[in-house]
Structure 1
């Protein structure tokens, strides 16, 4: 039979929607790697096809029957293997197991595969030849979320890398449903929730597998990019075989609906060769109906940047080949099969490759998630040398074309006279399969917005949602408009889930609805929580019969939305005169609340009209590490981004003006910068210009906006200020971990936790409290360097068991503020009081005023030194001295006791259990048997089981035994 190539096989797997792994017989097949996925076979039943792909070291025995466990309680299914051929080097056989299964119901399922055994010699686990191979993928069946199949992995998992050179692998994950994908590392398993013995990641600092990166930086790196899926090892140092594992997780509507598990082998060689390089490309988009072209360049190296091999050896460059890793000529995988990639090889040694990429996507290719196109370059070294390759990802998002020929027609004069205020929209039919709905947005005034790769209408543009219609519709009537504003509309198409996706927004269409009078100013004159002030102005009405009969009422509401149920308050006690077209609104909370206003027109004291409602323009701020993003907007009838305004006799572009002050440095506001809003929108980013922003300072801003109604009979520019806002930079730099010390106290007296034989008591008596221990933690902050000094509180961590990582502690044991007035350079004290024991693991972290938490301090681990000793005699004669059997002095760190007294004939005459006696561990036996009878004087024996407070659970239970004498008589004395 003709041997199939590695690339052909990988695409045959993709066609089958690869890889669900399943348990095999206990036959040693020497497995290198494997994948596990599911594919739904129809949209009627819950039948799924499971496909297991294994990669077998050919030096091992042949594969046998396999068992697929679907994790739903049904019996595992035995499946026969099928060989798909061999890799190009002939060292690995690819095996497929496929079966179908109908799940009994919806739910979450873990589908697993078990195989004995892995191939020998894997460095980062113990005795790999005797270690089972286990892989487990997760899958959700949820009718609410719709049909689902696992993402399939288009790039095979047995990869070769080189010593001293950066290794990169990408699974080429493709989700046919268009779900979002993320990636995370995990450990290799040998059974359910059971890691292989002594598993270590390739960058383990205790091993010599990694020393530095390809650029000679330290430390070496090993990670998976959670977004791109690039698995990076920068850089391996020792040749050998290493196994690593990761999950490809799929998400829909923010819910994780599955996770494909890949366990793969990385084969590191020490070749006389250097890997090729592919020049990276910026991610992009392409609109349906247009063509995407890109030139991809690759070359083989002849000199590594850091790893300097013997120059007398032929390290390259060698001839090179370049291709799309997910594309195959033998198996058609849409949309990769529609992409064209013509490669030209050049150079004196054919070491250069130029690939001309072209693609004309169709409507069926539109989706929210980008297509990941992975380019692969491989060299062709001399015979006997190892071929090396490299990968480079390029994300391309396919977006829908913009709807065309949008028209906006306002109400006619006759319709306005009948109070039929509306804007009628129409557009050409949107003929793109998969389109779901048309979304309609509008804003007051025009905006020169020309998106390239930005779909829909981002919030910074100021457009607001009006409604939506089915994608087959070609018209919409907006009846939520008012007179006195210029309404400008854009529309865009959305595509059906789960693939989703959107189109570019249409060109703008505007409709002006005239009115008789207009609000022209809602200007924040003063910012405050209870003393804010807003100045209002409006125009004299244009079309009244007698201006002398006109008066006005002023109304105020709260919020930025113009809604019918807004509770308006009348501000003026009596109507204002016809020439009094301004009002000052005082005692407002302009710092936190946005206000809206309307002016009511009265003729002969009867209301006849109202203006369009207008809000004050509100400023928002988001701080970053070294910048502040400002944005502002308001629901106003004028255009905040007009194409131009008339100043004197000149027509100029529109700028908004940024005013800033700095706490402590600049007490008053000064003009800081301006924004050309026609291009940049209502937003501005402050990066400090020539002076970087300081995260120790507060920055305050307000914006003076410029607007226009864009009609000749109204004045312009309209100047309205926002409220003031104060921000501080986002701080992500945590403090340094503190340096922790610890002391123990018993009854307030310091004691050595290891001095078991001589416990210190406060009064020397046998009466002692259980909760008498105090653990005193003290620490010093590490200040300076690259750490944040804005420490405001601390988290104390405690675990009663032996642990070593912060995540094992869980939530902090306690959180408290840094003591008021105490310098950060002085020791901080914290007491854990009234404790029954001191054993445990202790650590502390520092937290700054932005909530950044330091790493753990040094971890202090201590155990209890248990003291529990019985006397050799006691005298139950009611003389007030040694009348009961109790432990000598004061027992320490004992949680409970079960205690039995045995007479000389081996009979148990008394039993005590502290759990039945309110936890009292001191026994207090009065010398009476279980029937309440006094026992005779003489020798007795005891045995018991102590449960002590210890760091390790295995040390908690201790058996005790011994003997004692019971003395009776008036003057009996005991020896203890």
Structure 2
């Protein structure tokens, strides 16, 4: 309502006149004014009753400033009032601006699409919440109470980060207004497209009525109060797929208008850089019409440069006429919404095979180009909309085809060996996608047969390849000299390459074919380093090697000899030791003994001599090291070796696991084999028994894949033994005994109760030897609490079945005991046993403070037993307080009043009244306090 109108009413001044207005005329004028006010209010209220849905997006339009173009798309009800000519934008900086409507286009369903666009330059980097608020939603929204008086508010978040470059928020291509039918599944997809290729995620949120303020009383689509059930007979559900953005309401249970809101998150390099808010409306009707059914191609990958074609089919169960639509940034007309990089646009052509009605087809085709490569898939959302009789509403089915464009694999990778510096030169044909950013170079020892699946770009880790370099995309040469150290002679090196594309869209190519080369060597090839005996002192390793295969005999005269060297570890020269002197030409085996093969790994190399001159050295080869990790009724084995041959040869992919159950004394038997072609040297043995020792070794298979060398190469690891983890607790002790304190037998005149002597609780217990539980017990845990209501606290761990618990001036407390096995498993608690103190506190009725050392103070008789605290008040016969103390002040539970008042004045003979509060150490807190009241005679001579 116009606030100026109220202002003018308040400022009407009385008019002085010679005539007066009658009472009836006054009432008439007031009625007219009231009607005018009501009409004005209703006019204003109707003006704000029209918003159905909306989106809010932004894009940076300058690479030299922080200027963004911000667009609000507001969908209004044509049955209401005209759209607002201008709306207010809040930029999240404290600044707002009224923005004029740019355009309005009818999209059917009695809905107009209104566009409001402005530009704004942000003050600096940071996160900004941009929002648009419009006074009211349309009326009668079922899940928003009093929607006609509830503001419509959309709020999107944008991160301005100079390091992330230009950014455009996702554009939602599919309108947010659709019809649904009671009892039939509803499907919506926003058709989100991100021109930068950022990763998108979808999350439900509550519709808002103001900044960071959700709508009050909002109900979810699947609220039970709306009734209905899913198509499979279960409860109604409303879900939003976080990856695809498919919103499925299965199924609406009542008619009416429903609103739902969600955000589309935008991720780049693992950073959330923005989120776009959509608040949409679903109009549910109850009519006999059934929605059409779409059939689209399966999600796919296509190599850049390939032509893609797919057939889309829509079938209507009621044989109604069907219209087919497609929404995607791949279509040229979508560029009115958001520009995308140059490309060949896709085509969508409806075949027009109707009539007969009930079925329609369309063809989608797209000639891809290199500029289309990106990490995230492109999405094409297809919509089938039927045209039922005039008494029924149109229904739709939506499905999204996801198409990922990947780079073609590099062509013709070539590898050449340079024997002078032991390097390998790589080259390849110029890459056909010049928009790629770099070519990555990868290497492994030995071949690995890898045939990528559809959409499997790059090189997965299981192939065993390691990246060794990167080239700019135009550079087609690479030298591998192992960072200047040279590659090892006698080894076979294999290479692959693939291209990467620039961020933010990213993307990769398929990997090239593999190329392998071997660096020639004049040295022998080690073919075996096998652990034959496992021991800490008497271990043995069998070492074998071949004669040099690449030797030119004319250049290297006989005699030929070898020297064998051993070092500690998988590689290196620690404790470098020569073994066995010189070996003759045909002497190519050696049994290395007196080793600690149980705990150590050893590596070997062979030096080759021609006519007493050193020619070359073999590559280093280590023994196979096996480790075992005990699990609950299982064990995990892992093994590794540093060897010049390939232990993941696709022709010999099996490694063998042998096991011995030590308890039965049998020999090792083949337990299983594992295919290590994936590069994983690990195995888990399951269903093991508790407390049984299992021993293992593995035999690896490998190959140089070189003619003239034996294959497969078989090598054993050392033996390793474990006991699987035991989680079965032992039986709890059957009975816990406690020597109880019998109050009736205590002689309180015993000085022990008057001193600080240590009291002792003696405990003993018995084991449960029931066959139904674990009988293994290694120790016991004893728990104690001082009072009955306390929590049990750990007291001691002992291997005995008896324990003496010593305490100061108290035996009160409770105990339980548990049994513990060697694995640390603990039994249930035993029975609880408790002891209590025997309270004793007596006072005399006369004392004589005359200094003769006999009965000089008012003092507790015998020995106060188990007393924790004493509070004393003594009054004269005239009720004057003459003495007050607590044992906490002087640590004296006996009182020992000497007949003087608190000022040191001697009190005269007479009767004195006392009140003594005694607090004992007791098992039950309610038994702790004893109040003693009485008279005592003070006698002076």
- Range of TM-score over shorter length: 0.5 to 0.7
Match of 1:55 among 47, 65, 75: 75
Whose radius of gyration is greater, 1 or 2? 2
The yes-or-no answer on 1:552 pairing with 2:574 is no
What's the counterpart of residue 424 of structure 1?
A: 425
Residue 529 of structure 1: how far off its partner (Å): 12
Q: Distance in 2 between matches of 1:31 and 1:615?
A: 75
Residue 145 of structure 1: how far off its partner (Å): 1.7
Residue 604 of structure 1: how far off its partner (Å): 9.9
* Contact 2:54–2:74 under 8 Å retained in 1: yes
Residue 499 of structure 1: how far off its partner (Å): 0.8
Match of 2:459 among 444, 457, 462: 457
What's the counterpart of residue 214 of structure 1?
A: 231
Query: Deviation digits for residues 837-869 of structure 1, max 9, x if unmatched?
Result: xxxxxxxxxxxxxxxxxxxxxxxxxxxxxxxxx
Residue 242 of structure 1: how far off its partner (Å): 1.4
Q: Distance in 2 between matches of 1:325 and 1:524?
A: 66
Match of 1:396 among 394, 403, 414: 403
Choose 338-347 or 252-261, whichever is displaced more. Answer: 338-347
Count of aligned pairs:
676
Cα gap change, 1:118/1:673 in structure 2, threshold over 3 Å: closer, same or farther? same
Cα gap change, 1:328/1:254 in structure 2, threshold over 3 Å: closer, same or farther? closer
The yes-or-no answer on 1:509 pairing with 2:504 is no
Residue 439 of structure 1: how far off its partner (Å): 0.7
Q: Distance in 1 between matches of 2:248 and 2:541?
A: 58
Q: Distance in 2 between matches of 1:531 and 1:60?
A: 95
The yes-or-no answer on 1:706 pairing with 2:701 is yes
* Contact 1:318–1:349 under 8 Å retained in 2: no
The yes-or-no answer on 1:72 pairing with 2:90 is no
Match of 1:296 among 296, 312, 331: 312
Q: Distance in 1 between matches of 2:720 and 2:285?
A: 60
What's the counterpart of residue 919 of structure 2?
A: none
What's the counterpart of residue 278 of structure 1?
A: 294
What's the counterpart of residue 716 of structure 1?
A: 711
The yes-or-no answer on 1:408 pairing with 2:409 is no
Choose 58-67 or 428-437, whichever is displaced more. Answer: 58-67
Query: Deviation digits for residues 374-418 of structure 1, max 9, x if unmatched?
Result: 222222212221111111122211111111121111124xx2xxx
The yes-or-no answer on 1:656 pairing with 2:661 is no
What's the counterpart of residue 974 of structure 1?
A: none
Q: Distance in 2 between matches of 1:185 and 1:663?
A: 56
What's the counterpart of residue 232 of structure 1?
A: 248
Residue 181 of structure 1: how far off its partner (Å): 0.9
Query: Deviation digits for residues 736-779 of structure 1, max 9, x if unmatched?
Result: xxxxxxxxxxxxxxxxxxxxxxxxxxxxxxxxxxxx999999xx
Residue 724 of structure 1: how far off its partner (Å): 9.5
Q: Distance in 2 between matches of 1:577 and 1:319?
A: 93
Q: Distance in 2 between matches of 1:228 and 1:209?
A: 27
The yes-or-no answer on 1:255 pairing with 2:261 is no
What's the counterpart of residue 51 of structure 2?
A: 31
Residue 658 of structure 1: how far off its partner (Å): 5.5
The yes-or-no answer on 1:86 pairing with 2:86 is no
Q: Distance in 1 between matches of 2:215 and 2:471?
A: 56
Residue 476 of structure 1: how far off its partner (Å): 0.6
Query: Deviation digits for residues 850-904 of structure 1, max 9, x if unmatched?
Result: xxxxxxxxxxxxxxxxxxxxxxxxxxx9949999xxxxxxxxxxxxxxxxxxxxx
Match of 2:646 among 639, 642, 646: 639
What's the counterpart of residue 185 of structure 1?
A: 204
* Contact 1:26–1:115 under 8 Å retained in 2: no
Residue 715 of structure 1: how far off its partner (Å): 1.3
Q: Distance in 1 between matches of 2:316 and 2:269?
A: 43
Match of 1:487 among 485, 489, 493: 493
Alignment of 1:613-692 (within 5 A): 613-614=620-621, 636-640=643-647, 642=649, 653-657=651-655, 659=657, 670-672=670-672, 675=675, 681-682=678-679
What's the counterpart of residue 150 of structure 2?
A: 131
SS of residue matched to 1:87:
strand
Query: Deviation digits for residues 287-309 of structure 1, max 9, x if unmatched?
Result: 112222333333223xxxxxxxx
Gaps of 5+ in 1: 1-23, 302-315, 559-565, 644-652, 729-771, 778-818, 828-876, 884-976
The two structures have a TM-score, normalised by structure 2, of: 0.63
Q: Distance in 2 between matches of 1:228 and 1:726?
A: 50
Match of 1:118 among 122, 130, 137: 137
Residue 719 of structure 1: how far off its partner (Å): 2.3
What's the counterpart of residue 471 of structure 1?
A: 473
* Contact 1:486–1:510 under 8 Å retained in 2: yes
* Contact 1:631–1:682 under 8 Å retained in 2: no
Match of 2:64 among 27, 31, 44: 44
What's the counterpart of residue 569 of structure 1?
A: 574
Cα gap change, 1:360/1:185 in structure 2, threshold over 3 Å: closer, same or farther? same
What's the counterpart of residue 325 of structure 1?
A: 327
Q: Distance in 2 between matches of 1:324 and 1:630?
A: 54
Residue 721 of structure 1: how far off its partner (Å): 5.6
Q: Distance in 2 between matches of 1:709 and 1:268?
A: 70
* Contact 1:345–1:351 under 8 Å retained in 2: no
Q: Distance in 2 between matches of 1:173 and 1:726?
A: 58
Cα gap change, 1:98/1:448 in structure 2, threshold over 3 Å: closer, same or farther? same
Cα gap change, 1:530/1:236 in structure 2, threshold over 3 Å: closer, same or farther? farther
Query: Deviation digits for residues 412-469 of structure 1, max 9, x if unmatched?
Result: 4xx2xxxx11111111111313211111112223333332421111122222212111
Q: Distance in 2 between matches of 1:721 and 1:244?
A: 64
The two structures have a TM-score, normalised by structure 1, of: 0.61
SS of residue matched to 1:435:
coil
Residue 722 of structure 1: how far off its partner (Å): 7.2
* Contact 1:538–1:582 under 8 Å retained in 2: no
Q: Distance in 1 between matches of 2:296 and 2:720?
A: 42
* Contact 2:319–2:359 under 8 Å retained in 1: no
Alignment of 1:190-205 (within 5 A): 190-204=209-223
Q: Distance in 2 between matches of 1:142 and 1:529?
A: 60
* Contact 1:208–1:238 under 8 Å retained in 2: no
What's the counterpart of residue 443 of structure 1?
A: 444
Q: Distance in 1 between matches of 2:591 and 2:263?
A: 64
Cα gap change, 1:388/1:409 in structure 2, threshold over 3 Å: closer, same or farther? same
Choose 324-333 or 174-183, whichever is displaced more. Answer: 324-333
Choose 540-549 or 628-637, whichever is displaced more. Answer: 628-637
* Contact 2:325–2:384 under 8 Å retained in 1: yes
Q: Distance in 2 between matches of 1:338 and 1:43?
A: 26
* Contact 1:462–1:633 under 8 Å retained in 2: no
Q: Distance in 2 between matches of 1:484 and 1:478?
A: 16
Q: Distance in 2 between matches of 1:410 and 1:291?
A: 40
